[in-house]
Amino acid sequence: MTERILVTGSSGQIGSELVPKLIERYGADNVICVDLKEPADKLCAFEKLDVTDREGFEKIVKENAVSQIYHLASILSATGEKMPEKTWEVNMGSLRHVLDFARDYNIRVFWPSSIAAFGPTTPRDNTPQQTVLEPSTMYGVTKTAGELLCNYYHLKYGVDVRSLRYPGLISWKQEPGGGTTDYAVDIFYKGLATGKYECFVSEDTVLPMMYMDDAINGTLKLMDADSGKLTVWTSYNMAAISFSAKELEEEVKKHIPNLEVSYSPDGRQKIANSWPRSIDDSVARADWGWAHEYDLSKMVKTMIENLKKKLL
């Protein structure tokens, strides 16, 4: 059967890197993109859609005989705290639509959760797969509730919905869209453009992070996995590297020696403090062979090389 792939939130940080990989696998004619925002590069069919518009969304799913949905459209943590009601409406409302379509039209779904599903009462080091989930942001609430809803649709209706708790993702093609981990990308843009960076979390802030190529490879590997091997239908812990903002500064300075970094924590510090420092992803590694490639130095070198070409 020819797979027909729908990507929501396709113009965002992850979508802009996932879409070319899906096109490589399935062909441009079999990938359909939807977002509120036009894509930077139009590589396949694109339709403007608000994913809270159930009727418009269902029409696209039916007309295109979609067999897989990568549901990336979302409002992220920092923006979410500025508009919590809208964040619930977009993140939960659209997930509910996607899960209903998956049940009614037999569609396989990928939906990303996040380290934001954890909260201040979660063990912060080597956070286990199964642990306390009491997030303190609306974004986190939608991730925890979303995980439970995915699991429910799997148990009740047999929906094949797969999910990963992504850490902060670092990439150069598209700037991140309003998250707390954005400082780990901003430092490269501002550092190369101005030689200075004012970081919005303190230098000792440690969060789990991952280079985008690892995240995309992991996502596709999970979607390819034999469903009989999967033991988690909420969302899999997924980890690569954890470092402090200061350690990132020092690594970036190996490439931009005159870089000046100052630290001026804002409201996003509180969000960062409520998230784990490192993640135990042994279940993902055992169940479907997850493995990362990029450590801190390889990630920084790759970011600098690509951003120099893009910006300078």
Euclidean distance between CA atoms 120 and 306, whole angstroms:
36
Positions in 155-174 near ligand NAD (CB under 6 A): 166, 168-169
Evaluate whether 97 touches 54 at the Cβ level (below 8 Å).
yes
Whole-angstrom distance, CA of residue 7 vs CA of residue 72? 7
Q: Contact at 8 Å (CB) between 20 and 43?
A: yes
Is residue 50 a contact point for ligand NAD (CB under 6 A)? yes
Q: Which one among 77, 91, 235, 278 touches ligand AKB, defined by CB under 6 A? A: 77
Query: Toward ligand AKB, which CB reaches closer, 20 or 178?
Result: 178
Q: Is 139 a catalytic residue?
A: yes
- CB contact at 8 A, 93 and 153: no
Cα distances (Å, whole numbers) of residue 249 to 134, 179, 234, 246: 31, 19, 35, 5
| Residue 36 interface partner, choices ligand AKB, ligand NAD, none, CB cut-off 5-8 Å depending on type | ligand NAD
Nearest approach in angstroms of CB 3 to ligand NAD is 21
Residue least distant from ligand NAD (Cβ): 12
CA distance 166 to 12: 15
In this chain, which of 7, 116, 170, 201 binds ligand AKB, going by CB under 6 A?
Answer: 116
Per the structure block, which two tokens stand in for 251? 């690594």
Count of CB atoms within 10 A of residue 250's CB?
A: 14
- 18 sits near ligand NAD (criterion: CB under 6 A): no
**In this complex, which beta carbon is closest to ligand NAD, that of residue 138 or of residue 260?**
138
- Note whether 179 binds ligand AKB by CB under 6 A: yes
Q: Which of 70, 139, 197, 294 is catalytic?
A: 139
Can you say how many angstroms the Cα of residue 76 is from the centroid of all Cα atoms in its chain? 9
Catalytic residue ranges: 139
Residues engaged in binding ligand NAD (CB under 6 A): 9, 11-15, 35-37, 49-52, 72-76, 90, 112, 114, 166, 168-169, 176-179, 181
